[in-house]
Structure 1
Amino acid sequence: MLEPDALDRGLIHALQVDARAPFTLIADVLGSSPQTVVRRYRRLQAEGGLRVVALPDPRSSGTHQWFVRLTAATRTAHDIAAALARRPDTSWVRLTSGGTEIVAIIHTAPSGPDAHSLLLRDIPRTAGITGVSAHYLLHTYLGGPTAWRGRVDVLTPAQEARLRAHGPRVRAEEDAPYTLTGADRRLLAALREDARLGYAELAAAVGSTPATVTRRLAELRSRGALFFDVDIEPAVLGATVSALLWMQVAPSRLDEVATTLATHHELAVVAATTGPTNLVAHALCADAEALHRYLTRRVALDAIARIETAPVLRTYKAAATLRG
């Protein structure tokens, strides 16, 4: 297993601050050479599963997100999870709970004849599935554009400021969401494969010019129509135990609890959902003992009436990356 040093961690942090920052700028911020930073980036790709991708903001893409929990026989769970991971309308496909539960995020269109076909037709008909529960994602407190704090703990505020100065100014969240055009979606499809593609490569992929692609990408970023995800194997960063936490919280305390949990370094995702458990979190810990300490000392909040811990046995798909 790759053991990243301070330079590797600084590079990962820099990419989280600005995924498209030039290697020359990253090298200058980290006090290294561009050649060394590029070499480390390639090594993290090859040995640590590093991948930088761009994803559309759900408000701009007009999609809804659902956490779906599928109960399946152990003998069929692997095949079902692998099939779900290959679909373009899924992300975060994981096998949990001793290999009998599959958890995935499914992206659905708001309307149309096939808007919810995967939820209403395809999944229920799949052989081997014995139970389905769907939880509509209402609000994300941590995750998506917000990085897991367990990996962004290297750069100083001054170094982060230098990297942010390179990127476009993002408009206020309360602004009306921007609706993606067909050309925007083609550009995002290319960035979903590799968000660090050069402008000439992006232009060739979408049949445009580098100048046009540069303008469009800057506009999409400034409007908050997309965000970048730095995907890497958690174990590379020392997190060998992963678990999903399904919590039941009184609605009047939900925002308070979720906001508190979103500050915890152990959590990579905190989201409010519909269903009997209305708050879900993804914990990443060094080992089982660390997870136990976290559950008994930090998540033991009075407002949490019930918590279900589902260890993640295998990740088939991250934000957009298929895992072997």
Structure 2
Amino acid sequence: MDGRASFRRIAAVLGVSEQTVAHRYRKLRESGAVRVVGRLDPCYLGHAEEWVLRLRCAPSATLAVAKALAQRSDTYRIQLASGGTEISCHMQTSDQRARDTLLLDKLPATRQVTSIEAHQVLRLFRGGPDGWHTPIASLSPEQVTELTPPPPDPVPLDLDDGDRLLLGELAHDGRTHHAALAASTGWHESTVRRRITHLRASGALYFGVDFDEHLLGYSSHTLLWISVNPAALDAAGAALARSPQIAHAAATTGPTNLMATALCSSADALYEFITTQIGSMPGIQTVQTAPVLRIVKRAALL
């Protein structure tokens, strides 16, 4: 609900000790199961584009290509799908030259890459600041309310070099202590605290939580590429975003115009979701499914 909520606040809401929360978080963090990442919301800053790359590769080269993409600072959510021959990679960048170099030079020059599709994200229905809040029965509605941060009040914002340094540190670890952030930025600790509060309140900064969904029983992770009648696209995207099975949904350019990530407890649950919920939406023309075999990179975690 809030990646930067203090251990004291989480403990008070859950009715356990602060030491228990801190111990369990450190254990999950050290094992790679959970990581909090500070991210910029391009909607409020107006300088970045988001793309989804869909690459097909020779089976023997897919993992190597995915790992090379994962080393880039402008990529995230890199997944191997469709029996290991397909890579799905999200890219967010304000550097058009870097984007064009990757799409027009580097990838085409990689002989093991047999097909390249680049879909620009036109509208985000689920994801980013409005992340997937997995339904957890152990949290009451009152606890969810107590843990949910206040909504931002979007305002124009100009970032200076100090902000960029601060955001770079939070992108590495969104729970870095104020004292450590003060040391890296050269600001006073109170200034760091005040600036983070301001960036969050303006909507420019949000804290995403990378976590292994298998720990919560979601064994079926599937990419959906959907063709929708243009007149029904907005309604279909909004309906998908309301579905608890959907972790990410966006309208895109390309041969399909709506993509989503579905997390289900089993293959049978995925079948039910596709046939009953997606199948009943007006305007749906085709649905392509690509089961995810391996996640190479989440928001920032390799």
State if a TM-score over 0.5 links the two structures. Answer: yes
Q: Secondary structure at the match of 2:61?
A: helix
Q: Which amino acid aligns with 1:238?
A: G
Shift of 1:192: 1.1
Deviation at 1:168, TM superposition (A): 6.0
Q: Residue by residue, what CA displacement relative to the aligned partner does 1:131-171 show, whole Å, maximum 9, x if unpaired?
A: 1010000111111112323245543333233334xx56620
* In 2, Cα distance between equivalents of 1:25 and 1:57: 25
Q: Does the CA contact (< 8 Å) of 1:168 and 1:218 recur in 2?
A: no
Instruction: Note if 1:210 corresponds to 2:196.
Output: no
Match of 2:285 in 1: 305
TM-score by length of 1: 0.88
1:208-267 Cα deviation digits (max 9, x unpaired): 221221121111101100111111111001011111000000111001111111111111
Letter of the 1:264 counterpart: S
The aligned residue for residue 228 of structure 1 is 207
Question: Is contact 1:73–1:128 with CA below 8 Å preserved after alignment?
Answer: yes
Deviations 1:52-81 (A, max 9, x none): 111111132721110000110001111000
1:108 matched to 2:87? The reply is no
2:153 corresponding residue in structure 1? 171
CA-CA distance at 1:180 after TM superposition: 2.9
1:181-192 to 2 correspondence within 5 Å? Answer: 181-192=160-171
Map 1:66-85 onto structure 2 (within 5 A): 66-85=51-70
Give the Cα separation in 2 of the matches to 1:114 and 1:320. 19
- 2:42 equivalent in structure 1: 58
Over the aligned positions, Cα root-mean-square deviation in angstroms equals 1.8
Mapped contact 1:95–1:102 kept (Cα < 8 A): yes
The aligned runs of 1:219-298 (5 Å cut-off) are 219-298=198-277
Q: How high is the sequence identity, in percent, across the aligned residues?
A: 42
Structure 1 residue 139 corresponds to structure 2 residue 119 = no
Measure, in 2, the Cα distance between the counterparts of 1:310 and 1:179.
40
* Equivalent in the alignment of 1:161: 145
The Cα shift of 1:45 comes to 2.0
CA contact (8 A) 2:228 2:285 kept: yes
Amino acid at match of 2:132: W
Give me the whole-angstrom Cα distance separating, in 2, the residues matched to 1:319 and 1:214.
24
* Corresponding position: 1:94 with 2:74: no
The question of whether the paired residues in 2 share the 8 Å contact of 1:168 and 1:221 is answered with no
- Distance between the aligned counterparts of 2:173 and 2:137, measured in 1? 24
2:25 is the alignment partner of 1:45 = no
Instruction: Name the aligned partner's letter for residue 204 of structure 2.
Output: A
Q: Runs in 1 of length 4+ with deviation above 6 angstroms?
A: none
Residue 285 to residue 169, structure 1, CA distance change in 2 (3 Å): closer
**Cα distance in 2, alignment partners of residues 160 and 239 from structure 1:** 21
* Structure 2 partner of 1:316: 296
Q: For the structure 1 residues 130 and 46, does the alpha-carbon distance in structure 2 shift closer, same or farther, using more than 3 Å as the test?
A: same
Q: Distance in 1 between matches of 2:286 and 2:146?
A: 43
Separation in structure 2 between the aligned mates of residue 109 and residue 25 of structure 1, nearest angstrom: 36
Distance apart, 1:90 and its partner CA = 0.4
**Aligned equivalents of 1:114, 1:285: Cα separation in 2:** 36
**Pairing partner for 2:4 from 20, 30, 38:** 20
Q: Secondary structure at the match of 2:13?
A: helix
| Deviation of the 1:41 alpha carbon | 1.2
Distance 2:295 2:15 in 1: 35
- Aligned AA for 1:105? H
SS of residue in 2 equivalent to 1:88: coil
In structure 1, the gaps of 5 or more residues are 1-15
CA distance in structure 2 between the aligned counterparts of 1:42 and 1:115, rounded to whole angstroms: 36
- Number of equivalent positions: 300
Q: Choose the corresponding residue for 2:19, options 30, 35, 40.
A: 35
Cα deviation, residue 108, structure 1: 2.6
Unaligned runs of 5+ in 2: none
1:119 lines up with 2:103 in the alignment: yes
Task: Give the conservation status (yes or no) of the 8 Å contact 1:244–1:283.
Answer: yes
**What's the CA shift string for 1:15-50, capped at 9, x where partnerless?**
x2x222211111111111101111121222234611
